Amino acid sequence: MTTITFVRHGNTDFNNERRAQGHMNNPLNETGRMQALAVASRLAEEPWDLFISSDLLRARETAEAISAAVNMTPSFDVRLREIGRGQIEGTVEAERVEKWGKDWRKLDLGEESKQSVRARGMSFVEEVASQYRGKKLLVVSHGLLIGQTLKGLLQDEKTGDGLPNTSVTTIRLADECWEYALYSCIRHLEGS
Structural domains in the chain, sorted by start: 3-83+113-189 (3.40.50.1240)
* Known binding residues: 8-15, 58
**What is residue 69's predicted lDDT score, i.e. its pLDDT?**
97
Catalytic-labelled residue, pool 9, 61, 142, 188: 9
**What is residue 191's predicted lDDT score, i.e. its pLDDT?**
74
* Known binding residues for substrate: 8-15, 58
Query: Does the structure show a pLDDT above 70 at 162?
Result: yes
Judged by DSSP in three states, 137 sits in: strand
Question: What's the 3-state SS for 86-121?
Answer: HHHCCCCHHHHHHHHCCCHHHCCCCCCCHHHHHHHH
DSSP codes, 138-176: EEEE-HHHHHHHHHHHHT-TTSSSSPPTT-EEEEEEETT
Query: Does the structure show a pLDDT above 70 at 138?
Result: yes
**What is residue 101's predicted lDDT score, i.e. its pLDDT?**
96
Catalytic-labelled residue, pool 61, 82, 89, 111: 82
Is 141 within 8 Å of 9 (Cβ atoms)?
Answer: yes
Question: Is residue 188 flagged as an active site residue?
Answer: no
Q: What is the pLDDT of residues 51-61, one digit of tens each?
A: 999 999 999 99
**What's the pTM?**
0.96
Radius of gyration of the chain (CA): 16
- CA 186 to chain centroid, in Å, comes to 14
Q: What is the mean pLDDT of residues 10-22?
A: 97
Q: What percent of the chain has pLDDT over 90?
A: 97
Query: Does the structure show a pLDDT above 70 at 192?
Result: no
Question: Is residue 82 flagged as an active site residue?
Answer: yes
